A and B are shown apart, each in its own frame.
Chain A
Amino acid sequence: MPKGDFLAEFELYLMLAIARLDDGAYGVTIRQEIERRTGRPVSIGAVYATLGRLGDKGLVSFRESDPLPVQGGRSRKYFRLTAAGRKALRHSATMLERMMEGLEFGAKSSPAQ
């Protein structure tokens, strides 16, 4: 990852959501995960646009699932972090932690694995 290229806040949320959802990360679950945890409304367009950007950077990858076994069943686009993505996430989280160290509203957060 090039020097000086920090993850934007929303990018960080997205990557954390994907990390949390593990294998079940697709549009709906990612959006809901962020909305649920941050309490802020999140639009599906913002999710996909940011995922696209992360994809360009090589931080996330996706695969298309087989169509669901029902009439007119659709396929989903499942996202996961790449090795570089995990590294970037760990890097950002660590830096966030360091920046917050000693501050009184410093919250405990565990680095993503």
Chain B
Amino acid sequence: MTQPPRLAVLLLRLALEACDRRFVLDDLSEEYAARVAAGGRAAAARWYWSQVTCSLGPILWRRARRPRRLAISFPRRGTAVESLYQDFRFAVRTLCRNPGFTLIAVATVALGIGVNTAAFSLVSSVVLKPLPFEDADRLVEIWAEGELMGAQVTTTPQPEMLQAWLDRAESFDAIGLYNEEELTHSGSGEPEILHAAIVSPNLMELLRVTPRLGRELIPADVESGEGQGVLLSEAFWRRRFGSDPEVLGRTLTLDEKSYVVVGIAPLELERLFEARFFIGPPKQVWLPLSVASIRTWEDTPFVIARLKPHVAVAEAQAELDVIQASLTAAGLNEGGWRPLVSSTAEMVNSRLATVLWVLLGSVGLVLLIGCANIANMLMARGVTRRHEFAVRSALGASRVRVTRQLLVEGLVLSIVGAALGVVLTYWTLEAAAGLAAHDIRELRSVRIDPIVLVFTLGLSLVTALIFALAPAAQLRFCGTADTLTGGARAGTSGTHGSLVRQGLVAAELAMALVLLVGAGLLLNSFMHLSRVDPGFEPSGVVALELTLPETRYPETVQRREFFMSVADRIRLLPAAQAVGLARGVPPDVPWLFGTVEIDGREDVIDTSPLKAGNWISQEYFRTIGASLREGREFTAVDGRSDAAPVIVNESLARRFWPDGGAVGTRIRLELPFQSAGVVEHTVVGVLRDIKAFGLGDESDRMQIYFPFDSYSAREGVVVVRAAGDTDDLISQLKEQVWAVDPNLPITRVIRLDRDLSSNIARPRFNALLLSSFAVLALLLAVIGVYGVTSLSASQRIREIGVRVALGAQRSDILKLMVGSAMKPIAVGAVLGLVLSYAFTRFLRSLLFEIEPTDALTFAAVTLVLVVVGVLACYVPSRRVTAVDPIEVLRQE
């Protein structure tokens, strides 16, 4: 009977907070009942409504203004998931309330994880990714190991070894052979050089791949003389035939011989040879290889085999060793060769190992520094949040619960950071590819893949753990009662924490120093490299590389005549200042493998069998801008002279004739790849040293030059020094070549200065990469120093106030603050130097004319670190010196 108006009750109920709801409604009902009794229901209801409408304002106003109770909420009993969710929400709220801290922390994680994911993507796509073939772990490469002219080499097998493997080895399902060659494609349109893979017909079956179109090569393709089968690469098929499926059955003229197109090679095959086994340009055609055609060592192909199931690499190795022993017993192993079976993965690993390990090591350090930094920041926050933790534990939160809370906060930070880091990775990889893809092929195929994402996730979990553990450990050292009564505020009980923080900063600085030293060494080495004098004048020099087809130029005389007449025609061009002929131009000069002996100088033993050699015409040195130190250049008759004249370089001359007198002497050359036995030559000139193999080559590389007239191979280079613009000249040069032979393709147009600069692209990339990581590391470490100093400054502010009140000068305070901050800097620098000394030797193979322990680099980099570190602690220290002691002491 005496129920107040329902709608009004409902309104009020909605507006009121839970804690007051019952009391307010009951209070109102009590009065309402009294008013009904006194003045009737209508008046009471009116009164009730006016109460409700006037109450809504103050109630809602208070609800909006009321301070939230965040930090202290009674732990509600709930499921584990529920309380975890609570922790998560609380973490998000806590982080949102400190946007500055959160931003820096997330950015640090994102940077660390970003560079790590990028590096891991690189490693994963270059090294770890399994080959795109079935049972790829059973694929092995077989090589021959031995000693050649005093050097250890791993190379293709001798023909006898290969034949014995094919006939007798039982460990393999199949043995596949692979070779590469350049062929002239003619007959339709402009003549063109094609990169061909010559493969045994079983290779595709061995790799378990099938052609995209048509059939694979079969043994019958090898036997039939004319009309052998050929597979086209996908790219060549698209470019030359517009992906026309009707291409099957058409003929293709390669080196004047006709082949029948039988299929399109699968993409996997292309990728295998592009990125894995053999370094060489992408192949356009795949031809059959016949074992019968392999007669000399030069003919022998690379060998890939598939192990039988359950046969280990070591067992196959043992079997081949036994076969080799029988060959040796039969007198068929004069060279003392040993077979070497190695899994394909190992081969790839060893090729790129150094650079990748350096890369992974440095990005790992960046992440570690980042973690240390965030741990530091979290610990600093832990000091300010000590009160909150104390209240929580006083209210019954166990340490496990508080630690879990910290863990969840770390987790939130690192997951957000990781997400941003992946975005950053995309950018990094794109930037790296754009920067270096032209020169460094591995970067082109790098993608972020699922494995990398898993890696990132793992990384962020570990990061979270590291973050959270530091402040959680710190928790153990602050007593609840102390903190609540304000005792801990004095900062005296923070000694342990501050020791940990200083340790972290020292570690950060040490790691940053390692990276800085590495970057300094690479930069230093790069500067050496770019200052190297090549010994000749590459700018304005262009060259055409030509390969004469065997079929039309079978005789040496024809080949020489061709090159001579091209050179003669070019000489008449006004745009050509000088013209020379050669086998190759720097940095692609042929290797000369062999030793030198000189009558009367038996005391000097030639221990460096790898030399540079070249076959050159009279004007060659003038064309590239090199000069002789003594003697003469070749003359027109030198090629046919019995004296067999040669020109040697200064390094060789200095070795055998330290006091001069090389010209006119007879030397004996043993060059197993050029000629049988020992050949006598006469030195007619000494060339000032040039960098024949590029700027990074040894400075005392021995070089021997022969007259072009004595040259017999099909490949050659026409070198021209331009009188003016090189671009105009190149097209004129091509015309002159085609005027002599209209069907001859230009294998390559070489610009000497560009090739020489691409030579230093990789060192430049390495230096740039490590430098950017080092700068990043330094930045993070500086943030660390700054953070610790400002925290210690704010903790010691009362102490400083007292000191100032007792008469300390500003400079005294500054000395005190910077002095105590110097401790971790000094420790970090010493530790960093020791670590650098231990680690930089891994960089040795990347360094040019500089020792991994170069004192100057070490000293300079340490100086940079210390100066930057002192600056980082000077700024917050200076701020403290401005405190007003009265103000500080009053706050007691």
Per the bound structure, the CA–CA distance linking A32 and B15 in Å amounts to 22
Please tell me if the beta carbons of A45 and B27 are within 8 angstroms of each other in the complex: no
Please tell me if the beta carbons of A45 and B67 are within 8 angstroms of each other in the complex: no
Tally chain A residues at the interface, Cβ within 8 Å. 19
Please tell me if the beta carbons of B26 and A76 are within 8 angstroms of each other in the complex: yes
Q: For the complex formed, measure the closest distance between the CB of B34 and the CB atoms of chain A, giving whole angstroms.
A: 9
- A50 in the interface (beta carbon within 8 A): yes
Chain B CB within 10 Å — which of A28, A43, A77 has the most?
A43
- A36 in the interface (beta carbon within 8 A): no
Q: Given known contacts A28-B31, A56-B67, is B58 in contact with A50 (CB within 8 Å)?
A: yes
Please tell me if the beta carbons of B55 and A45 are within 8 angstroms of each other in the complex: yes
Contact partner of B20 (CB less than 8 A), chosen from A26, A41, A48, A74, is A48
- B24 in the interface (beta carbon within 8 A): yes
- B129 in the interface (beta carbon within 8 A): no
Please tell me if the beta carbons of A45 and B50 are within 8 angstroms of each other in the complex: no
Please tell me if the beta carbons of A44 and B62 are within 8 angstroms of each other in the complex: no
Contact partner of B27 (CB less than 8 A), chosen from A26, A49, A50, is A26
Please tell me if the beta carbons of A74 and B55 are within 8 angstroms of each other in the complex: no
- B57 in the interface (beta carbon within 8 A): yes
- Main secondary structure, interface of B, reads helix
- A24 in the interface (beta carbon within 8 A): no
Please tell me if the beta carbons of A44 and B67 are within 8 angstroms of each other in the complex: no
- B51 in the interface (beta carbon within 8 A): yes
Please tell me if the beta carbons of B56 and A45 are within 8 angstroms of each other in the complex: yes
- B23 in the interface (beta carbon within 8 A): yes
Please tell me if the beta carbons of A46 and B67 are within 8 angstroms of each other in the complex: no
Please tell me if the beta carbons of A41 and B66 are within 8 angstroms of each other in the complex: no
Contact partner of B59 (CB less than 8 A), chosen from A41, A49, A76, is A49
Chain B residues numbered 1-26 whose CB sits less than 8 Å from any CB in chain A? 12, 15-16, 20, 22-24, 26
Q: Given known contacts A43-B51, A49-B62, is B57 in contact with A76 (CB within 8 Å)?
A: no
- B449 in the interface (beta carbon within 8 A): no
Per the bound structure, the CA–CA distance linking A50 and B67 in Å amounts to 14
Contact partner of B23 (CB less than 8 A), chosen from A27, A43, A50, is A27
- B850 in the interface (beta carbon within 8 A): no
Please tell me if the beta carbons of B54 and A46 are within 8 angstroms of each other in the complex: yes
With a CB–CB cut-off of 8 A, which chain B residues contact A32?
A: 31
Q: Given known contacts A74-B26, A77-B23, is B50 in contact with A41 (CB within 8 Å)?
A: yes
With a CB–CB cut-off of 8 A, which chain B residues contact A46?
A: 54-55, 57-58
Residue of B nearest to A45 (CB): B55
With a CB–CB cut-off of 8 A, which chain B residues contact A45?
A: 12, 15, 24, 51-52, 54-59
Write 21 A-B pairs (CB below 8 A) sorted by A numbering: A26-B23, A26-B27, A27-B23, A27-B24, A28-B27, A43-B50, A43-B55, A45-B59, A46-B55, A46-B57, A46-B58, A48-B16, A48-B55, A48-B58, A50-B58, A52-B62, A53-B62, A74-B22, A76-B26, A76-B27, A77-B20
Binding site for A on B (CB under 8 A): 12, 15-16, 20, 22-24, 26-28, 30-31, 50-52, 54-59, 61-62, 66-67
**Additional pairs, 7, CB under 8 Å, beyond known A43-B50, A45-B52, A45-B57:** A27-B24, A43-B51, A45-B12, A45-B56, A49-B59, A49-B62, A74-B26
CB-CB nearest 10 A-B residue pairs = A45-B55, A27-B27, A43-B54, A49-B62, A49-B58, A46-B58, A45-B59, A43-B55, A77-B23, A74-B26
